Structure 1
Amino acid sequence: MSQRFRGKAVVVTGAAQGIGAAVAQRIAEEGGELLLGDRSPLVAQVAETLTSGESAVKSHECDLETFDGAQGLIDAAQETFGKIDVLINNVGGTIWTKPYQSYGIEEIQAEINRSLYPTLWTTRAALGTMIAQGGGTIVNVSSIATRSINRVPYAAAKGGVNALTASLALEAAPHGIRVVATAPGGTSAPPRAVPRNTAELSEQDKRWYQQIVDQTTESTYFKRYGTLEEQAAPIVFLASGEASYITGSVLPVGGGDQG
Structure 2
Amino acid sequence: MRELFDLTGRAAIVTGAGRGLGQAIAIGLAEAGADVLLVTNSTPAEETKRRVEAAGRRAVTVQADVGDRDRLAGIADAALAAFGKIDVLVNNAGIIRRTPAAEHAYADWQDVLDVNLNAVFLLSQLVGKTMIAQGSGKIINVASMLSFQGGINVPGYTASKHAVAGLTKALANEWASKGVQVNAIAPGYMSTDNTEALRQDPVRSRQILERIPAGRWGSDQDMAGPAIFLASRASDYMNGHVLFVDGGWMVR
TM-score, scaled to structure 1 = 0.86
Q: CA deviation at 1:105?
A: 1.7
Give the drift of 1:45: 4.0
SS in 2 for 1:222: coil
Q: Does 1:239 align with 2:224?
A: no
Matches within 5 A, 1:23-172: 23-40=25-42, 42-52=44-54, 54-94=56-96, 96-146=97-147, 147=149, 148-172=151-175
The farther-off stretch of 217-226 and 68-77 is: 217-226
More helix by share: 2
Gaps of 5+ in 2: none
Q: Deviations over 1:94-147 (max 9, x none)?
A: 1x2232112112121122123212211211111111111111010001110231
Between the aligned partners of 1:59 and 1:131, the Cα distance in structure 2 is 25
Which digits, 9 at most, give the CA deviation of each residue in 1:135-161, with x for residues without a partner?
101000111023122212101001111
Once the 2 structures are TM-superposed, how far is the Cα of residue 41 of structure 1 from its aligned partner? 5.3
Change (3 A) 1:207 1:234: closer
Q: Secondary structure at the match of 2:250?
A: coil
Offset of residue 223 of structure 1: 3.4
Q: Which residue of 2 aligns with 1:252?
A: 244
CA distance in 2, matches of 1:71, 1:251: 28
- Secondary structure of 1:28's counterpart equals helix
Residue identity (%)? 34
CA distance in structure 2 between the aligned counterparts of 1:122 and 1:111, rounded to whole angstroms: 16
> CA offset at residue 54 of structure 1?
2.6
Q: Which whole-Å CA distance do the structure 2 matches of 1:4 and 1:207 have between them? A: 36
Number of equivalent positions? 247
Retained in 1: the 8 A contact 2:30–2:55? Answer: no
- Stretches of structure 1 that go unaligned for 5 or more consecutive residues are 197-204
Q: Partners of 2:33 and 2:229 in 1: how far apart?
A: 14
Q: TM-score with structure 2 length normalisation?
A: 0.89
Instruction: State how far apart, in whole Å, the 2-side matches of 1:117 and 1:45 are.
Output: 28
